[in-house]
Amino acid sequence: MRKWKINRKVSFLRITLKGSYTVEASLVVPILLLIIEGTILLGFRIYSEGLTYLTEVQVMEMQSVEKFRLLQAGEDVIENIMED
């Protein structure tokens, strides 16, 4: 009876990897994917908050411009009344 030696290396496309590399990669890759996903989601969140802030600022600026124009029109009316 012949005894077979068990080779602990995996040969894939002429690359030999030890089992410890596979185990290490199986622990590291999910962590890296979570970090990348978190970074992408954080970017979307910051972009969304920036858009919300800009729309609020634009509305406030437009309201202040309208108030200024009304004030200017009111001053013109008062000046015209005073001149007559």
What is the residue range of 27's domain? 9-79
Contact indicator for 7, 15 with CB cutoff of 8 Å: no
What DSSP state is assigned to residue 13?
A: T
21-31 per-position pLDDT tens digit: 778 888 899 99
Can you name the residues that pair with 16 across neighbouring β-strands?
11
pLDDT score, position 60: 76
Greater confidence, 55 or 12?
Answer: 55
What confidence tens digit (pLDDT) does each residue in 14-23 have? 666 567 777 8
How high does pLDDT run on average in the chain? 80
pTM of the predicted structure, to 2 decimals: 0.49
Dig out the tokens for 20 from the structure. 């410890």
1, part of any domain: no
Residues 16 and 8: beta-carbon distance below 8 Å = no
Q: What is the largest CA-CA distance in the chain?
A: 125
Per cent of the chain over pLDDT 90 is 27
Domain count along the chain: 1
Write phi, then psi, for 18 (nearest 5 degrees): -80, 160
Is 62 part of any domain?
yes
The answer to whether residue 2 is domain-embedded is no
Residue 4 lies in a domain: no
